[in-house]
Chain A
Amino acid sequence: MNAKEIAIEKAKKVKFVILDIHGILTDNTLYYTDDGKKSECFSLRDRLGCRALTEGGIGIAFLTSKITRTDEQVGKILGIPLEKLWGTSAKMSKLDEFEKESGLKDEDICYVGDEMIDLGIMKRVGFSVAPSDGSIEAKEVATYITRAGGGKGVVRELAEFILKAQGKWDSVIDRITKSG
């Protein structure tokens, strides 16, 4: 099997997607106003991606060292429930805890990361993904690298890849298009 076929086989098993926020949902850029207020830039294509994954019966969580109020607002826009916004830098033990309570196994889980802190979890889960502008280390470990860079539709692209592998994409998009 070539790399793409391996990725498809792994994507078929995915039941839950865990997303790092910075560098995945954002392009890593921080914007400050003169009064010190910070903004970050997110992609609306990822809203379609999250919606498609949810419609396809796949769960989603954000996992980052600290959940800010920006992340909560973005979670709302992307349709991620508050209890799936995980803020901890102990990413591996969070995964242990989640697997225990959900009954899901490593191979059921997709993790999207871009940095050193993500490598442990990326090596562990069934399907690991890095954005095209992720660190070299993350891209080396990843099963699949998106064409999109962080903040430019990584989740949109990943959703299509997973749902196509699972044969659900066309029906999911059909439902979304009809309901707006």
Chain B
Amino acid sequence: MAFEKNLEEARERAKKVKLFAHDVHGVLTPDTFLCDVEGRRKYSFWHMDGFGDLSLTANGIQIAFLDTTSIDEEGLVRARELKLDKFYYRVSDKLAKLEELKKELGIGYENIGYIGCEVTDISVMKSVGFAVATADAIDEVKEIAHYITTAPGGRGPIREVCEFILRAMGKWEEWVEKVTRMGYK
């Protein structure tokens, strides 16, 4: 199914984002795991999604890993690797956590961005100002999203949406120039 989205509207919504949240599996990963005969598991992440999250924090936008699905510590391990573990939350109710963060930051739902892919993301996506779906999200999620990434989960959706947000805010080019000169780590 093709879903037409109004990019102008999506940009207007993205401009207001002060907190951008995402789950781990299905967004940062392709929602899969490798398992060997000893039960050891491997998870795949997308290198440049880390740059996406770091780009937002460097530009004054807070992020949040709302991890409901990690089997082991894969979500935390990834956040820690990016030195973003203070923004990592292991939660069961994502909407309740966002409500808490919203109060803490003194912002409204219009200032929250969120990217999701499953039925369990729908209530959050209906609440926030800027709702994004991955390319391989289920149809119901794509339907309510303001923006759909061309990348599926685990293949760079965060990198893509972070560029979209920073471009909407007019901060992207300056940021890229800065990174090119100074690096970002």
Interface residues in chain A, defined as those with a beta carbon under 8 Å from any beta carbon in chain B? 31, 33, 37-45, 47-48, 68-70, 72-74, 77, 151, 153, 173, 176-180
CB distance from B89 to the nearest CB of A (A): 12
Interface residues of B in 2-52 (CB under 8 A from A): 25-26, 29, 31-39, 41-42
Given that A44-B26, A178-B93, A179-B92 are known contacts, is A70 also in contact with B31, CB under 8 Å in the complex? no
Q: Name B120's closest neighbour in chain A (CB-CB).
A: A177
Count the A-B residue pairs with Cβ separation under 8 angstroms: how many?
Answer: 69
> Could you tell me the distance between the alpha carbons of A77 and B120 in the complex, rounded to whole angstroms?
18
**Inter-chain contact A37/B119, CB cutoff 8 Å:** no
Given that A48-B120, A177-B123, A180-B68 are known contacts, is A69 also in contact with B32, CB under 8 Å in the complex? no
**Inter-chain contact A41/B119, CB cutoff 8 Å:** no
> Could you tell me the distance between the alpha carbons of A150 and B62 in the complex, rounded to whole angstroms?
37
**Inter-chain contact A44/B37, CB cutoff 8 Å:** no
10 contacts across the A-B interface (CB closer than 8 A): A37-B38, A39-B34, A40-B35, A44-B69, A48-B119, A48-B120, A70-B36, A73-B39, A177-B122, A177-B123
CB distance from B41 to the nearest CB of A (A): 8
Q: Name B34's closest neighbour in chain A (CB-CB).
A: A39
> Could you tell me the distance between the alpha carbons of A29 and B139 in the complex, rounded to whole angstroms?
27
Contacts of B35 in A (CB 8 A): 39-40, 42, 70, 73-74, 77
> Could you tell me the distance between the alpha carbons of A72 and B35 in the complex, rounded to whole angstroms?
10
CB distance from A163 to the nearest CB of B (A): 11
Contact of A41 among B34, B37, B69 (CB under 8 A): B34
> Could you tell me the distance between the alpha carbons of A40 and B120 in the complex, rounded to whole angstroms?
26
Q: Is the interface of B mostly helix, strand, loop or mixed?
A: loop
**Inter-chain contact B92/A180, CB cutoff 8 Å:** yes
> Could you tell me the distance between the alpha carbons of A179 and B96 in the complex, rounded to whole angstroms?
11
Asked if B105 lies at the interface with its beta carbon under 8 angstroms from chain A, I say no
Given that A173-B120, A177-B123 are known contacts, is A45 also in contact with B31, CB under 8 Å in the complex? yes
Asked if B182 lies at the interface with its beta carbon under 8 angstroms from chain A, I say no
Asked if B143 lies at the interface with its beta carbon under 8 angstroms from chain A, I say no
Which one of A44, A45, A48 has the highest number of Cβ atoms from chain B below 10 Å of its Cβ? A44
> Could you tell me the distance between the alpha carbons of A44 and B42 in the complex, rounded to whole angstroms?
12
**Inter-chain contact B32/A42, CB cutoff 8 Å:** yes
**Inter-chain contact B39/A177, CB cutoff 8 Å:** no
Contact of B26 among A33, A45, A173, A177 (CB under 8 A): A45
Contacts of B39 in A (CB 8 A): 69-70, 72-73
CB distance from A85 to the nearest CB of B (A): 14
> Could you tell me the distance between the alpha carbons of A59 and B61 in the complex, rounded to whole angstroms?
45
Contact digits for B95-135, partner A, Cβ 8 Å, 1 yes 0 no: 00000000000000000000000111011000000000000
Given that A73-B39, A178-B93 are known contacts, is A42 also in contact with B33, CB under 8 Å in the complex? yes
Q: Name B41's closest neighbour in chain A (CB-CB).
A: A73
CB distance from A7 to the nearest CB of B (A): 18
CB distance from A35 to the nearest CB of B (A): 11
CB distance from B11 to the nearest CB of A (A): 29
> Could you tell me the distance between the alpha carbons of A178 and B123 in the complex, rounded to whole angstroms?
10
Contacts of A74 in B (CB 8 A): 35
The 3 lowest CB-CB distance pairs between A and B, nearest first, are: A180-B92, A73-B39, A39-B36
Q: Name A31's closest neighbour in chain B (CB-CB).
A: B34
Asked if B176 lies at the interface with its beta carbon under 8 angstroms from chain A, I say no
**Inter-chain contact B34/A77, CB cutoff 8 Å:** no
15 further interface pairs, Cβ-Cβ under 8 Å (given A70-B37, A74-B35): A39-B37, A41-B34, A42-B32, A43-B32, A45-B26, A47-B69, A48-B118, A69-B37, A69-B38, A70-B35, A70-B36, A153-B31, A177-B123, A178-B93, A180-B68
